[in-house]
Amino acid sequence: MRPHRGCAWVGYRVLPTHVRLRNENPIRFRRRFRGVVRGCRAGLVTREEAKARWAAWEGHARQADTEVLRERVWNWAVG
C-alpha cells in the first residue's frame, strides 16, 4: 500500500500526517439520522435518543480531523 493513500482502520483513513473518516461514514450517518429525525417528529423516538445518536457519531468523528465536517453535518441536521 502506498503511504499517501493511507490505511483503512476501524472506520478511519489513517494517513502519515492526519486521520480522516472513511468517505462513506458521514453519508451513512446522515441517512440513519434522517430516519431518527422522522421518528422524533412521529413520536417514535425520544429527543434523548436522538441526542444520544448524535453524540455517539460525533464522538467517533472527533477522533479524526473532522471539525469542518462535523459542523457541516450539524448544520444539515438542525437546518
Residue 30 in this model has a pLDDT that exceeds 60? yes
Indicate whether 41 belongs to any domain: yes
Indicate whether 16 belongs to any domain: no
pLDDT at 79: 74
Residue 6: partners with Cβ closer than 8 Å, 6 or more residues away: 13, 14, 15, 16, 20
Give the C-alpha distances (Å, rounded to integers) separating 16 from 2, 6, 21, 46, 66.
11, 7, 14, 41, 16
Domain count, the chain: 1
**Per-residue pLDDT tens over the stretch 14-25:** 988 889 999 899
For the chain, percent of residues with pLDDT exceeding 90: 67
How many CB atoms within 10 Å of residue 73? 19
Residue 9 in this model has a pLDDT that exceeds 90? no
Residue ranges making up the domain that contains 36? 23-78
pLDDT at 3: 61
Residue 48 pLDDT class (50, 70, 90 cuts): very high
How many CB atoms within 10 Å of residue 64? 19
- What type of residue sits at position 47? R
